[in-house]
Amino acid sequence: MFNAIVSAETLQATLDSVGVLVDECKIHLEADGLEIRAVDPANVGMVDLSLSAEAFESYEADGGLIGVNLVRLQDIAGMADKDQLVHLELDEETRKLHISIEGLEYTLALIDPESIREEPDLPDLDLPANIVIEGRDINRAVTAADMVSDHIELGVDAADELFYVSAEGDTDDVHLELDTDDLIDLVAGPAASLFSLDYLKDMNKAIPSDAEVTMELGEEFPVKLHFDIAEGQGTVTYMLAPRIQSN
């Protein structure tokens, strides 16, 4: 059983956060909210999303699992204005999702969850550095790095108490340093890892510029990025595997 009403804005933010990594996903319809975990085909980028029942105007579910075509669902949600309400109702028998937006009813055929790539387990890493940064600063760093390279180094200079971003191209370089004044918070620790810019660019698309993003970093370890959606009633965690440093 699944029957819920949610603002188009919240639904769009939810779908976009996952849609930057995968085209289809499983959605757990838990009693207390939605849960989505997905990994990209190359097993490099992962997402773990929770959207609490409180993020909805009304919400009823009892633990089902559905598979959806995210691209299609994003298109449907995108037809609504941000403040319109979207009604979602699962028809258990036909395995279709009824989506209605002010009288317009869309019947979406679901995908067999078995046919969707297995959900990842986001490992519980105890990473030494913890940076809290505004979404707009991630955007600046990623945009600039993208001009010169296809990978990017994220690190912490524990001595100088600063977070840095660095990208080295064939002729040009990009470097950004943010100290405790520029950051919302910093717990310094030994951290320096290289990442594929393609993935960070995709994740960056889903991060609002005014979001507070908590970044966990280590030395040649994955990075974790956490931020809230739906005014704090949803959380997104991205995890991105490091590239091997080729010094």
Q: Out of 35, 53, 72, 187, name the contact with a second copy by CB under 8 A.
A: 72
Q: Interface with a second copy includes 156 (CB under 8 A)?
A: no
Q: Cβ–Cβ contacts within 10 Å for residue 131, how many?
A: 25
What is the SS3 string spanning 10-41? Answer: HHHHHHHHHHCCCCEEEEEEECCEEEEEEECC
Q: Interface with a second copy includes 160 (CB under 8 A)?
A: no
Cα–Cα nearest to 5, from 85, 124, 122, 95: 85
C-beta of 59: minimal distance to a second copy in Å?
24
Q: Interface with a second copy includes 105 (CB under 8 A)?
A: yes
C-beta of 165: minimal distance to a second copy in Å?
9
Cα–Cα nearest to 222, from 243, 198, 197: 243
The nearer residue to a second copy, 182 or 219, going by C-beta atoms, is: 182
Q: Interface with a second copy includes 174 (CB under 8 A)?
A: yes
Q: Interface with a second copy includes 184 (CB under 8 A)?
A: no
Q: Out of 57, 118, 177, 231, name the contact with a second copy by CB under 8 A.
A: 177
Residues 1-60 that bind a second copy (CB under 8 A): none
Query: Buried (b) or exposed (e) across 54-91, using 16+ Cβ within 10 A?
Result: ebbeebebeeeebbbbbeebbebbeebeeeebbbbbbe
Enumerate binding residues for a second copy (CB under 8 A).
72, 75-76, 79, 103-109, 140-141, 143-144, 147-148, 171-178, 182
